[in-house]
Amino acid sequence: MAKLMANVPVQKNQLIELDMTGQGHQGEGVGRYRDYTLFVPGAIAGERVKAKVTKVNKNYGFAKLIEIVRQSEQRTEPPCPLYHRCGGCHLQHMTYEAQLAHKRQTVVDALTRIGKLEDVTVHPTLGMDEPWRYRNKSQVPVGLVNGKIVAGFYAPGTHEIIDMEGCPIQHPYSDEIVNTVKRALADLGIPPYDETGHKGLVRHIVARVGYATGETMVVLVTNGRNIPRVDELIRRLRNEIPHVVSIVQNVNTAVTNVIFGPHTITLWGKDGIEDRIGDVRFFISARSFFQVNPIQTQVLYDKALEYAQLTGRETVVDAYCGIGTISLFLARRAKRVIGVEVVEEAIEDAQRNAELNGIMNAEFLAGEAEQVIPQLYAERGLRADVVVVDPPRKGCDEKLLQTIVDMQPQRVVYVSCNPSTLARDLRFLEDRGYETQEVQPVDMFPHTFHVECCSLLVRKEN
């Protein structure tokens, strides 16, 4: 190893000065020092900085920003006082216009580098008029620091909880809920969770907000079933959070970083909250996936509808349908929609949402998309005119992609939260008879490095 590292021109803790020539996909500045690549979080392309080397690998390393020698015009002062300590945001030091341009470039880089897609049209990122207070869901870990109950996001690369009173990207109701629960736990002597010894009770506070309705839900994720003084806790939350309609407990006793456990109990009120995107109503339970930015969700789904080009005669398959968000938008324009989702509670919500909106032509099936859809194709001869996929960050399973190819839909609408796996999957479909016509990035998560994309693929005529 020492021999392999002999040609590396820097060493750990060395102070250096270098120019930033690019931006990494997680927003960090990228520069070269004597032909050696260094990633510097907080730096911006075009800047010259002083940095302290923190990690050295054979081909690249990392450094901590110490001083900005020459500042970029794209730099701005982060409005959040915790920005440089908290790991929730990554790009508040960049102007919003620069963030949008960076996210588009991230998509272009992934398509060309991973997907070898050189000629695909990637549109400018669709941003927000007001890119603050957009998140309708907050889930923060709870802990004890110097005898005080704290709740907030983790510091980058650690499990150190940065206690916060407010967050500028969360809905104000979420801040109110987290602060109210923290005070109540302290006053009632309900212990927070200690992950080092797997002791204590309250692991996470989750707040969900109906943007259009104002309804809110409080979820307490606990390391055990019994909550001491639970009746007093419920009464206090009801009194101090006037818009709360649902108080829920989720039990997670596993030694894990996964937030939710398998058992959910409604302690008071409804089993969920209601919200709307456009004129489509949704019932959302504690564990259901629902896009966290409802304003941009409508932008994204309008684009998916545009790409689907529905006339009312189509059969549409919606893989990874969640609680039916995209499915119900599609069903109003299609002959038939079949949605598939692995989380059974989400399928129950999807069925309820179809009834809520009087939609009769949407069918929802529980199971893994990569298992259910191939089975529908093989055993029931299912054919689809349009397939919509909105997978998790890992992208689509190859078995599902192959089934899409076998079904031969005219159009595939691929909604993605990860440009890298999107590029990989587009390449798979391109090699099997589909052409990627365009990609539309949408800024669902302002001030973070995440970017959502909606892509249109069309089947090539033989």
Helix (H, G, I), strand (E, B) or coil at 191: coil
State the first-to-last Cα distance of the chain, in angstroms, to the nearest integer: 53
What are the catalytic residues? 417
Written as one letter, the residue type at 164 is: M
**Could you tell me the maximum CA-CA distance found in the chain, to the nearest angstrom?**
70
Structure tokens at 233: 């806790």
Which one, of 131, 115, 24, lies nearest residue 439 by Cα? 115
Treating both helix axes as pointing N-terminal to C-terminal, what angle do 419-430 and 96-113 enclose, rounded to 10 degrees? 40
β-strand partners of 284:
273
SS (H, E, C) 389-430: ECCCCCCCCHHHHHHHHHHCCCEEEEEECCHHHHHHHHHHHH
Distance of alpha carbon 149 from the chain centroid:
27
Which one, of 370, 421, 414, lies nearest residue 394 by Cα? 421
Structure tokens at 164: 């916060």
Alpha helices in 123-229 (DSSP H): 172-188
Helix (H, G, I), strand (E, B) or coil at 306: helix
DSSP 439-457: EEEE-SSTTSS--EEEEEE
Helix (H, G, I), strand (E, B) or coil at 78: coil
DSSP 254-266: SSSS-S--SEEEE
Contact 286, 249 (CB under 8 A): no
Treating both helix axes as pointing N-terminal to C-terminal, what angle do 230-240 and 172-188 enclose, rounded to 10 degrees? 150
Q: How far apart are CA 287 and CA 223, in angstroms?
A: 17
| Neighbour-count burial of 358, counting CB atoms closer than 10 A to its CB (0-12 exposed, 13-18 middle, 19+ buried) | exposed
Q: How far apart are CA 453 and CA 417, in angstroms?
A: 6
- In terms of DSSP bridges, do strands 336-341 and 315-319 run parallel, antiparallel, or are they unpaired? parallel
Element holding 377 (H helix, E strand): helix 369-380
